[in-house]
Amino acid sequence: MKKKIAIGSDHAGYQLKEKIVNYLNKNNWDIVDFGCHSEESIDYPDYAHPVADFVEKDGLFGVLICGSGNGISMSANKHKGVRCALSWKKEIAMMARQHNDANILSLPARYITLEEALACVEVFISTEFEGGRHQKRVNKIPHQK
């Protein structure tokens, strides 16, 4: 059975998104592509929110891509059940999973090579959350008034 993963990008991340979609298809993932579908200028929150909604509802992984990786991850992190981690090296993506139980990976299309991006995706989807001492910290991430 294929595992599902949501993906979305803005126009700056479109080309990288397409390459990641091809990579995931070859590795037995069922991709839910929320767009965008061209390099025409668009607003990154319009693509971050559907991916975040999907991840919140289904408890699965997501990948978001914009020029810097910042705006799209900020939008996703407005969702209570989302822990979106901006990564540009596989070690950062691995730590985001191991220590922070990140469920969405954000990539900076303008500042990462394809090889680095694919390494980040691979380690992100294959690394388990360690739990233990990290769980109490993860539990404190959603703001409580």
> What is the rounded CA–CA span in Å between residue 125 and residue 114?
17
Confirm whether 99 is a catalytic residue: yes
- pLDDT tens digit sequence for 74-125: 999 999 999 999 999 999 999 999 999 999 999 999 999 999 999 999 999 9
pLDDT of residue 3: 87
Residue 36 annotated as catalytic: no
Report residue 92 as tokens: 């950062």
Give, in words, the CATH class of 3-139.
alpha beta
Burial of 127 (0-12, 13-18, 19+ CB in 10 A): middle
Q: Please, what is the angle between helix 14-26 and helix 114-126, to 10°?
A: 50
Q: Pick the catalytic residue: 36, 66, 84, 120?
A: 66
Instruction: Give long-range contacts, CB 8 A cutoff, 24+ apart: 109-113.
Output: 109/9, 109/12, 109/13, 109/15, 109/16, 109/65, 109/66, 109/67, 109/69, 110/12, 110/67, 110/68, 111/68, 111/69, 112/16, 112/88
Q: What does the domain layout of the chain look like in residue ranges?
A: 3-139
CA distance 72 to 9: 8
pLDDT of the residue at 60: 86
Q: Residue 76 gets which letter from DSSP?
A: H
